[in-house]
Each structure stands twice: as structure tokens, then as C-alpha cells.
A and B are shown apart, each in its own frame.
Chain A
Amino acid sequence: DSGVTQTPKHLITATGQRVTLRCSPRSGDLSVYWYQQSLDQGLQFLIQYYNGEERAKGNILERFSAQQFPDLHSELNLSSLELGDSALYFCASSGPTGGAWTDTQYFGPGTRLTVL
């Protein structure tokens, strides 16, 4: 158990809909990262937040947005969903430094999103 929690575990929805994925980092970790893993594109980095502020941005679509709240949990919002958005979405957290990927990351179990 990494100490990172993600909800829900599974999500099935229809094209055009909007969903919110939630992540709670390990106690004391200030950074949260979001990743997408699809069958055809593998793992991709989406975005990093550090202590409430966006710190690094990867291949995140404009239809996707994220935020980190004062209690450090984070939410990833996916809107106008398309079939190709079906994937595993992981969040990870890391410790006190704000640099991207300079600390060991602890991954959550992932949320499997299926868009029908």
C-alpha cells in the first residue's frame, strides 16, 4: 500500500459526459502528479501540482483540467469525453521538494475509465 488513494476504482460513462477523478496523497507529501495509461499510447504525464499550484504540465488535453485543494487532495476533471479517453488514470505523490520528479513518487492504484 503506497498510502496514495484514488476514487473511484472504476468508472463507466458515455461519450460527451464529464467525470471527476479524486486523489489523496500520502500524508506529508506536497506534490501530486496525474498520469494517463492507454493501450495504444502507454504512460503519459498529464500535470503536476505542488502545494496547490500548478508546477509542470505534460500532454494534458484542453478538455481536461486539474486542481489541488488546500488539504492537498487533487481532482482531475475530464469533460466532453471521447472513446479514446478510455484509460487507466494514475495519480502519484511525492515529498517536500517542488521540483518535478526530483523525489521518489508513490503511485495510487489508479482509476479505470471506460467511455462507451
Chain B
Amino acid sequence: KNEVEQSPQNLTAQEGEFITINCSYSVGISALHWLQQHPGGGIVSLFMLSSGKKKHGRLIATINIQEKHSSLHITASHPRDSAVYICAVIQGAQKLVFGQGTRLTINP
């Protein structure tokens, strides 16, 4: 079993739908990152979380440390949100483990 599991692996939705991507991890962490990788390959850091909830525009990220679970939500999804979303957990001071990514496709 991977230390970081994302679900679903692939998600296709219609424009305007509310999207949820999940990330579960099996070890204690100090923080968690959400990244977005565009179809062209470029990577953007979306959020860094150690507790609670963060919001940026239509994106919301939450983390529950006790349940070892984080979610990334996209409200009013748009075709430009189509990308691979990757969570990464930080264990201790130096270990970073990536999830396998969730490929999101938003159809107009």
C-alpha cells in the first residue's frame, strides 16, 4: 500500500460541477501540499496545509490530521481547471512523499 493514496485516479465532470479530490496518508505528517500540473507539464503549488482549511478563489483545501485525510474542492468548475492534481505529504523534516495524482477533465 502506498503511503499516500489519492482518489479518484481519474475524474471527468461537466463545467459548473463541484469537484472533490481526496488524499489519504498512512503516516504522521507535518504538512501537506496540493499541486496542479497543467497538460503542458507545468506545475503550480496551490496550497500548503498543516491544519484546518484554506481558500483561494474557487479552490478550497481542507485537512484532518486525526483522520489522515485531505480534500481539494473546486467550485463552479471550468475547462481550464483540467489538469492533474497531486498531493504531497511532508514527514518529519526531510521526507516528501507524493501521491500518484488525480487527472481531472472538465467538459464544456
A binding-site residues for B, Cβ under 8 Å: 2, 42-45, 56-58, 88, 90, 92, 99-102, 104-107, 109-110
A-B contacts, CB under 8 A, total: 49
User: Interface of B with A (CB < 8 Å)?
Assistant: 31, 33, 41-45, 48, 86, 88, 90, 93-96, 98, 100-101
Q: Which residues of A contact B101 (CB under 8 A)?
A: 42-43
Shortest beta-carbon contacts, A-B, top 6: A107-B43, A56-B94, A45-B96, A43-B98, A105-B45, A101-B90
List residues of chain B with CB within 8 A of the CB of A92: 43, 45
Would you mind naming 29 contact pairs between A and B with Cβ atoms under 8 Å apart?
A2-B44, A42-B86, A42-B98, A43-B86, A43-B98, A45-B98, A56-B94, A58-B95, A88-B41, A90-B43, A92-B43, A99-B93, A100-B93, A100-B94, A101-B31, A101-B33, A101-B48, A101-B90, A101-B96, A102-B31, A104-B45, A105-B45, A107-B42, A107-B44, A109-B41, A109-B42, A110-B41, A110-B42, A110-B43
